[in-house]
Amino acid sequence: MQDSTRAAALAKLAELGVKADPTATSPAEVTVTVSDKEPVYAGGDVERVLVGNAHLTYREEKGGQLLHAFAEVGDTVLLTSAQAKRLDGLKVTVTKAQAKKLADAPAEATPAATPEGTTAKTDDELKAMNAGELVAHVNQNPEDKVRVRALEGQREQPRTTVLKATSPDGDDADEELDDEE
């Protein structure tokens, strides 16, 4: 069976610590040095510190022209509350207090050094989740995509919704059908 072979390969990658996106880093793995430069305006007044690369676009108030804010990791950016919520969810921004914790944390980051609301799940915790919870977890934690897929492949009857949510980009067998609807 091709699925069991693939699941075994994914499990092996997960054991080796390979992430779904090998270039991705979690905020806990980032050394944050908060810049002393002026905050970069990106459409709002909510202060956040960049801990990952982000495409910062916003519309100017008059005229609605789309603008791009250029900021680097460590820069303070001024976002709208909606932008801040989205970027916090993507784990590319943190509050100044969280950035200070990350900067003060030892090199071997501990779970306490991660932004509020993020926790690493054990394999047992992931196995205990129902399909809906796993899909939500993978959407919020894409770095766990390979591991969740490998664990799902170990089940007697892998759940289609979980396999679809954890499929590598472009590997969706139903994609053509989705486009036709």
The residues, any chain, with a CB within 8 Å of residue 5's CB and separated by 6 or more, are none
Q: Higher pLDDT residue, 34 or 128?
A: 128
Residues 7-48 have pLDDT tens digits of: 677 666 666 655 544 444 444 455 566 777 888 888 889 999
Q: Do residues 38 and 97 both lie within one domain? A: yes
What is the pTM (predicted TM-score) of this model?
0.43
Q: What's the average model confidence in pLDDT over 95-115?
A: 62
Boundary residue ending a domain (113, 132, 163)? 113
Residue-level pLDDT at 123: 85
Its domain, for residue 122, covers 2-24+118-172
Q: Are residues 34 and 98 in the same domain?
A: yes
CA atoms within 13 A on the CB side of 124: 0
| Rounded mean pLDDT, 97-117 | 58
Same domain, 101 and 31: yes
Among 113, 132, 150, give the residue marking a domain's end: 113
Please state the rounded mean pLDDT for residues 78-86. Answer: 90
Residue with tokens 């980051």: 109
Q: How are beta strands 66-69 and 40-41 bridged, if at all?
A: unpaired
Asked if 72 and 133 sit in the same domain, the reply is no
Is the pLDDT confidence value at 116 over 50?
A: no
* Amino acid found at 154: Q
127 with 164, same domain? yes
Here the tokens at position 10 are: 């994914």
Q: What mean pLDDT is predicted for residues 91-95? A: 87
From 113, 132, 152, the end of a domain falls on 113
Q: What is the mean predicted confidence (pLDDT) over 65-91?
A: 87
Examine the domain organization and report whether 11 and 88 are in the same domain: no
Structural domain tally of the chain?
Answer: 2
| Band of pLDDT at residue 63, cut at 50, 70 and 90 | confident
